[in-house]
Amino acid sequence: MKATDFGKDFLWGFATSAAQIEGAWDQDGRQPSIWDTFARKKKLNGKHRDHPSIACDHVNRYQDDVRIMHDLGVNSYRYSISWSRVLEYDSRGFSFKINQSGMDFYRKLSDELQKKGIRPFVTLYHWDLPQILQERGGWTNRDIIPLFREYVSAVTDHLSPTVKDWMVLNEPIMFTLLGYGIGMHAPGKKGVKNLLKSMHHANLAQAMAAADIKKKSPQSRIGTSNAIIDIQPFREDHKGDILSADRYRALFSRAFVEPYLGMGYPTEKFPMLQKIEKYFREGDDWNIQFHFDFWGVNHYSRNRIKTNRWFPYVKGRILTPPSGTETTQMGWEVYPEGLYNILKWMSSYRGVKNIMITENGAAMEDVPEEGRVHDPRRIEYYKAYLSSALKAKKEGVPLTGYFSWSFLDNFEWAEGYRPRFGMVHVDYPSGERIPKDSALWYRDFIAGK
Ligand code: FCB
Model confidence pLDDT, tens digit, residues 109-132: 999 999 999 999 999 999 999 999
Q: Which atom of ligand 1 is nearest to the CA of 20?
A: 9
170 lines ligand 1 (CB under 6 A): yes
Distance 187 CA to ligand 1 centre (A): 16
* 340, 384 Cβ separation under 8 angstroms: no
Closest by CA to 148, choosing from 168, 164, 132, is 168
Order of all β-strands in the sheet with 302-307: 230-233, 302-307, 316-318
Query: Looking at ligand 1, which residue's alpha carbon is closest to its atom 4?
Result: 412
Confidence (pLDDT) at 269:
85
* 158, 166 Cβ separation under 8 angstroms: no
Distance 106 CA to ligand 1 centre (A): 21
Report the catalytic residues: 171, 359
Identify the segments of the chain with pLDDT beneath 50. none
Q: For the whole prediction, is pTM greater than 0.85?
A: yes
405 lines ligand 1 (CB under 6 A): yes
227 lines ligand 1 (CB under 6 A): yes
Distance 402 CA to ligand 1 centre (A): 15
301 lines ligand 1 (CB under 6 A): no
192 lines ligand 1 (CB under 6 A): no
Amino acid letter for position 250: A
174 lines ligand 1 (CB under 6 A): yes
421 lines ligand 1 (CB under 6 A): yes
Distance 328 CA to ligand 1 centre (A): 14
Q: Is the peptide bond before 161 cis (omega within 30 degrees of 0)?
A: yes
Q: Which atom of ligand 1 is nearest to the CA of 412?
A: 10
3 lines ligand 1 (CB under 6 A): no
Give the mutation target among 45, 413, 417, 418 for probing the ligand 1 site: most ligand atoms within 8 A of CB. Answer: 413
Query: In whole angstroms, what is the distance from residue 43 CA to residue 75 CA?
Result: 38
Confidence (pLDDT) at 161:
83
Distance 438 CA to ligand 1 centre (A): 19
Domains and CATH numbers, the chain: 3-446 (3.20.20.80)
